[in-house]
Amino acid sequence: MAATVFYLDEIPEPGATAVLDGPEGRHAATVRRTRVGEAITLSDGHGLLADSEVVAAHKDRLELKVLDRRRAEPWTPQVTVVQALPKSDRSELAIELMTEAGVDAIVPWQAARCVSNWEAKARKGVDKWRAAARQAARQSRRAYIPDVADLHTTRDLLELVRTAKSNGAVVAALHESGTARLTGLSFDGVPEIVLIVGPEGGLDDAELTALADAGADIVLLGPTVLRTSTAAAVALGALGALTPRW
């Protein structure tokens, strides 16, 4: 079984001692009950990995000897998920699932039919998503923690779509009205894929028209209608098989 991953902003050179403290250290020492002699993989969350061995365990921190350092290559193409805000009880679940499935960047979107409204609490919502992404990345032992952007309006989203298209990305809005399928799109040589997932009530007609006009493909993901909290993870699984990501 691979060593557990914990995140540390600055990882010292091999041979040096690293101190894992703060929330990560408390989780490792108290929750996971990590002991002296155990192996841990450290990561800075931006691709740097280091094998290490615990040399001292305290109540709220660990001391580790760094054995080596290496850099993990990012997956290609990169996948960004634009996620319309789910209901509060499923919001962080959506982030956990897509992070475990390999998302590289997450964009929260205040769509027209969102039940949740972050207008007065956008910073709190984004912070929760970032914490959920970090925890899910640790659980799935990822070298990269997905970036979570600030809350986007529909105007912001349309600008994102136009910019992505100009840079050669495939942009796909998942919707039951799509006449094409996600599996039918060509991903050969593309640098990025942007997936747009609507809210529980779906994308409204004005959003669909605006997204199509901006260059997005309106596509079916599969034969069933999925919850907004699970659609991105299912799409990421399909993209893992359809592209070189896996």
pLDDT in tens, 77-86: 999 999 999 9
CB contact set of 243 (below 8 Å; sequence gap of 6+): 76, 77, 187, 193
3-state class (DSSP) for residue 127 = helix
CA–centroid distance for 120 within its chain = 24
Q: What is the mean pLDDT of the chain?
A: 94
pTM beyond 0.85, yes or no: yes
Mean local confidence (pLDDT), 9-26: 93
Mean local confidence (pLDDT), 89-95: 92
Mean local confidence (pLDDT), 178-197: 95
* Sign for the pseudo-dihedral over CA of 99, 102, 107, 112: negative
Share of the chain above pLDDT 90, in %: 83
| pLDDT higher than 60, residue 1 | no
User: What pLDDT, on a 0 to 100 scale, did the predictor assign at position 120?
Assistant: 82
- Is residue 66 within 8 Å of 17, Cβ to Cβ? yes
| Of 60, 72, 125, nearest in space to 102 by CA | 72
Among 1-5, 22-26, 72-76, which stretch is predicted with the lowest mean pLDDT? Answer: 1-5
User: What pLDDT, on a 0 to 100 scale, did the predictor assign at position 88?
Assistant: 81
Domains contained in the chain, CATH given: 4-71 (2.40.240.20), 78-242 (3.40.1280.10)
| pLDDT higher than 70, residue 145 | yes
| pLDDT higher than 60, residue 223 | yes
User: In residues, how long is the chain?
Assistant: 246
Model confidence at 137, pLDDT cuts 50, 70, 90, reads very high
- Residue tagged 């919707």 (tokens): 175
Mean local confidence (pLDDT), 107-123: 92
Model confidence at 70, pLDDT cuts 50, 70, 90, reads very high
| pLDDT higher than 90, residue 32 | no
Mean local confidence (pLDDT), 140-165: 97
- Is residue 100 within 8 Å of 139, Cβ to Cβ? yes
Mean local confidence (pLDDT), 212-237: 94
3-state class (DSSP) for residue 228 = helix
User: What pLDDT, on a 0 to 100 scale, did the predictor assign at position 2?
Assistant: 64
> In what order do the strands lie in the sheet containing 17-20?
4-7, 39-43, 48-57, 62-71, 17-20
Residue 148 CB coordination number (10 Å): 24
Share of the chain above pLDDT 70, in %: 99
User: What are the Cα distances from residue 105, in Å, to 3, 45, 78, 79, 179?
Assistant: 25, 13, 8, 7, 27
| pLDDT higher than 80, residue 183 | yes
| pLDDT higher than 80, residue 3 | no
What dihedral do alpha carbons 166, 172, 175, 178 form, nearest 10°? 80
- Is residue 199 within 8 Å of 111, Cβ to Cβ? yes
